[in-house]
Amino acid sequence: MSDAAQTFEAGMTFDDYMADLRVHRDDFIEHYERLAGIVDELRNDPPLPNVRVLAISEDWCPDCVFNVPILARFAETSSQAPLRIVRRPECKSLADRYRGRGGGSRVPTLVFLDNADGVIGHWSERCASSQLWFEAFTKDHPMPKLDIRNGIPAPPLLSWMKLRIASERDRFYGGVWRDVLAEIHVILGKIDPKAMTI
C-alpha cells in the first residue's frame, strides 16, 4: 500500500474534521450548509470514476474553508468518491511531495487515488479564477506575515483572513465553486480505466 493510501486510511472523515476545528469553525459550517444547494447540480454532473480523495488541510486556511466543504458535498453525491482529511503537520513529507503554485506545499492539497492505491493526480490551494481574484485582493489588502502558532493565526493575520473570507464569499457561491470542480474533473479525466475496476 502506498504512503498516500495509508494516509488516506488513517485520515478523518469530514464529520470528524468538523468536530475538531479550532479556527474558522462558523465559516466552515456556513460554507458546508450553503453548499447543500449544489448537491442536486452535482448529481447531474458526469458520473465520477471510482476514486478516493485525500485532503491535506489546515483549518486556519481560508482556501480550506472554501474548498474542503466542496469535497465533502462531492463525496456525498457519490459512494465512489470517499473523502478523508489529514492536517499537513501530520503528513508533512507526503504534503511536500505534492507541490502547488510557486513550487511549495499548499493547503488544501487534494490527492486522488485509484483502486490500486496509485496516485492519479493532485490539485492544490485554489482554482485559477480564485487566484486572479486573490492577486487583486492582496494588492488592496496586503497579507500580514504568515504567523501561525500551534495551529492558530496571530491576531492581525486572523483579522485579514476573516476579511478575505467575507470578501470572497458571494463571488465563490456565484460560480467559482464550479471552476474548482471543473479543474478537478480535468485531473480525473486522466484516469486509466483499467485501474478503476474492482
Domain boundaries, the chain: 3-193
Q: What integer pLDDT is reported at residue 196 of this predicted model?
A: 43
Residue 177 in grid coordinates: 465553486
Residue 68 in grid coordinates: 474542503
36 contacts: CB under 8 Å, gap ≥ 6: 73
**Rounded distance, CA 11 to CA 26, Å?**
22
**Rounded distance, CA 166 to CA 90, Å?**
29
Instruction: Give me the amino acid identity at 164.
Output: R
Task: List, as one string, the DSSP characters of 68-94.
Answer: HHHHHHHHHT-TTS-EEEEEGGGGHHH
Instruction: Give me the amino acid identity at 50.
Output: N
| Nearest by Cα to 179 from 137, 135, 129 | 129
Strands 52-57 and 83-87: parallel
Q: What integer pLDDT is reported at residue 181 of this predicted model?
A: 87
User: Along the 198 residues of the chain, how does pLDDT read in single tens digits?
Assistant: 899 999 999 999 999 999 999 999 999 999 999 998 877 777 776 666 678 999 999 999 999 999 999 999 888 887 778 999 999 999 999 999 999 988 899 999 999 999 899 999 999 999 999 999 999 999 999 999 999 999 999 999 999 999 999 999 999 999 999 899 889 888 988 545 455 443
Q: What integer pLDDT is reported at residue 63 of this predicted model?
A: 98
Answering whether pTM is above 0.85, one says yes
Of the options 3.40.30.10, 3.40.50.300, 3.20.20.70, 2.60.120.200, the CATH number for the domain spanning 3-193: 3.40.30.10
**Rounded distance, CA 157 to CA 161, Å?**
6
